[in-house]
Structure formats: structure tokens, C-alpha cells
Amino acid sequence: MKPQDLYFSLPPRLQSVAVTAAGWRNHPSRYGRVYRSARAALPELDLYPWPELERVQWALLDGLFQHARSSAKFYAHKYRHLPDSFRPTGATLQAVPELGKEELRANVEDAYTLSARDSVELHTGGTTGKSLVVRMSMHDMQLRMAILDHFKARVGFENRQMRRVTFNGKHIVHADASRPPYWRYNAAVRQLIMSSFHVTESNLGSYVDALNDFRPESIDGFFSSIVEVAKYVERSGKRLNFVPIAIFPTSEMVDEDGRRVIERVFRAPVFNQYSSSEGAPFITECQARTLHVEPVTGVFEAGPHGDMLVTSIQTSGTPLIRYAIGDSIEFGETASCECGRWTPIIRTIHGRGNDFLYRSDGAKIQAGNVANIFKNVPNSVIEAQLRQVRIGAVHILIVVDKSRFEESHLQILRNEFASKFDRGTTLEISVVPAIERAKSGKKRLILNEVEPK
């Protein structure tokens, strides 16, 4: 029996035990000595003036560049035209060639600097459906967890010590489950994980009841799921008996209408953040509603059309240097903020739209979950698009790398699809030579043509 089948054969209480056990297994790679040292140092770093922070940033980035060049066959070849004495700085970084998603996917085996055994593997489906597995060192993983938890601590929430609710794409509840609980408890980090796949009109009342029972001190995860819960509370007249410290949405674009609904209903501020499954640098929002680059995580560049290039310091296992991540960015000033921090400021981030597909029961499967359909396909899908013209049917178009693609990969896609959509939703998969771009010139992972009711 497969581990997932065994898990789903258990009653909900024992599934929570399994989720907790997995949480404890993750502790050594996330919350070890490096994490503790970073958490102790980060508050002081917040007080550094920008010129001093910038020196730290570029020293760290130079270390990543030299490591990539000396440890990965792909980067040694890619940077062969640069002299041995080359050092990336704000003035010289543009001499480093850009790295495209397809280029990385096609060469990722030669871009790794760590073995699978010595790393944490992160799977991403990407915004265009490119399947990719990146490797991250335990050191980098702990640094990233420390930076993320420090961001939350700035506004008063302490992860692992306080109760949190998370709406995410983990398959903690079977896709065909028809009654609550649609959540499982991870006691290792005091986290109630709520399935985003079952957020439907008929189920929302039970979600609100569970929130009232748990009384979380923060809520994080898919923005669209949190908005749906907030809208239901408002229109149903149900009352919340708790006030969280903060709401931390992830994975999707935060729009102002949704933010206002969440803050009105939960009576708590929303703090936005940006990163990616591949390990992009962090952008975090402060109490003054300013989006700050977290300088020790890397560098962002904006191309002539706003296309975002990222150089991420904590990616030593699969270095990302001037990586075209597919989103777009608009910079503000590098200035001192009323929150007390002095960093590059971001005016807007685009590219994380709230696209979705419908299950046959009307539930919305959001873009973050849709992209994850491709995450376990072993680097053989070049790009993909999911099309829906009626509820109950989805058509997946894929462009494949013929040298890597196998028929068995189609079954991986079907299995991933089945874990997110109910049995009433049919699937058709077509291998095609190319996928047409939208009129804007962008490639879209989701094309939803279902007429709204």
C-alpha cells in the first residue's frame, strides 16, 4: 500500500497524529542551530543603515556566485567568459547572463551542488507549469525559516509558540471527503492545517466553527481561501470569537478589496509577503504597509518591461543567479521607512493572479494548487496549460521534453489531478508541440472560460 493510501485509510484523529509526526521529522532541517543563531542576529540587522546592509548583501551574493562557479558544471560553463577575478556588485551584476526557467529545467542535474541525500528537495509546478525540483541545503533552509519567522515576530506573532491556522495545498483530507473535519492538527508547531480544496459554500460554516474552536493567533496561507471564509462570515452573520494578531497570506496576489474584507471581518492586519517554491528572495510588508526587500536573502532586478530577475543567496544547493522567475516588479525608493528599516522598497508585484479551476461540486482549485499538479513530474514538462470551458471537465495541454518524457509521467499527472479534484471532474491530457500565448504575450497556466453564474 502506498503511504498516501495508508494515510487516507486512517480516521481523522490518527491522520493528525501522522501529520504531527511529519512535523517533528521536519524539525531538524528547519529549526536547528543555524535557525536559532539567525533568529538571535536578525533583530540587530534590522537596525543597520542601508550602506552597511548593502555591503553584507553583496558579500553574501559573491559567496553564492563563487560557489556556483566552482561546484556546478552548468554554472562553470555558463560563466566561462567571465574572468576568474570577477566579483558581482551593483555595478557589475548585469555582466552575468540571465537564467531562464526552461534553461534551468533542462540543465538542473548539472546545476545541483548537493546530492539528494544531503539536501531538502523542493518541488514546484511554476506559473507556466514547468516541473522543477530544486535542492536546498539544510543550512539555507534554516536561514529561510528564521527570516520568515522573524518577519512574523516583528508584528507580534511567534511561530511554534502561538496557535496558527494554515490554508494550503497539502493533501491532508481526501478529495472526495463530504463531511468535516476538513482540517488536521500539526501539534509539532501548534498549527491547524485547513484544506483549501474543500472551501465550498456548503462547507464554510464548519470551517468557521473550527476557527472559533481553535482560536488561532495568526492565519496564513492561500489569500483566496481566507477571503472566501471572511466573505462567508460577513454574509452569513456568523460571529468570530477570537481576534488574531495578524494574517499572513501566501502564494497569491493580495488585492485591496480582499485585504479590506479580511481586515474588517477578522479585525486584524494583513501582512503581505513574496517568495517562491524555487527559493526566491523574500519581500515582506511592514506595519507601515511598505513592501521591503529582505536584503540578506538576495537581490531583485527589474527588466525594461518590469520582468523580475532574482538572485537568491539561500540557494547554494541549486543556485539561482539572475533567474527570470516569471513575475514582474516595480521598485520604489531605497529609503528609511517609518517602521525603522532602511532597505530597497517595492511599489508593486505582479504575476500571482487568483486564477482557478472548478471542481464538479463548484469548489475553486486556486492557481497555487493547480501548479502543484506538475511538481512530481521529473523535469519532463516544458510548459503546460489547463483549460476549462464547463464545470466538471478539465483539459491539460503539455509540451514535453521528448528526451525525458515517459508514458508513465501521464499517470503521475492523473494521480496528482485526482488528489486535488473530485471524482466528478473528468480529465483529458494532450501532448502538443506548442501552447498559444495570450494576447498580452504572456503564457497562462490556467485558461478558465466557464461562464460565471
- φ/ψ (deg, to 5) at 332: -95, -145
- 100 CB-near residues (< 8 Å, 6+ apart): 324
DSSP state string for 369-390? HHHGGGTTS-S-EEEEEEEESS
Helix (H, G, I), strand (E, B) or coil at 221: strand
List for the chain the helix, strand, coil content (%; round to 5).
35, 25, 40
Q: What is the pLDDT of residue 440?
A: 40
Q: What is the pLDDT of residue 353?
A: 46
pLDDT tens-digit series, residues 284-329 = 999 999 999 999 999 999 876 667 899 999 999 999 999 998 777 8
The answer to whether 89 and 299 are in contact (CB under 8 A) is no
- Map out the domains of the chain with their CATH numbers: 3-29+156-270 (3.40.50), 31-146+275-350 (3.40.50.12780), 356-448 (3.30.300.30)
Q: What is the pLDDT of residue 452?
A: 60
Residue numbers in the chain where pLDDT is lower than 70: 125-130, 304-306, 351-354, 437-443, 452-453
Q: What is the pLDDT of residue 305?
A: 60
Q: Is the peptide bond before 83 cis (omega within 30 degrees of 0)?
A: no
Is pTM, for the whole model, over 0.85?
A: no
Cell triple for 442: 504572456
Burial class of 445 by CB neighbour count within 10 A (0 to 12, 13 to 18, 19+): buried
Cell triple for 120: 531538502
Helix (H, G, I), strand (E, B) or coil at 306: coil
- 83 CB-near residues (< 8 Å, 6+ apart): none
pLDDT tens-digit series, residues 244-285 = 999 999 988 788 888 999 999 999 999 999 998 888 999 999
Q: What is the pLDDT of residue 441?
A: 41
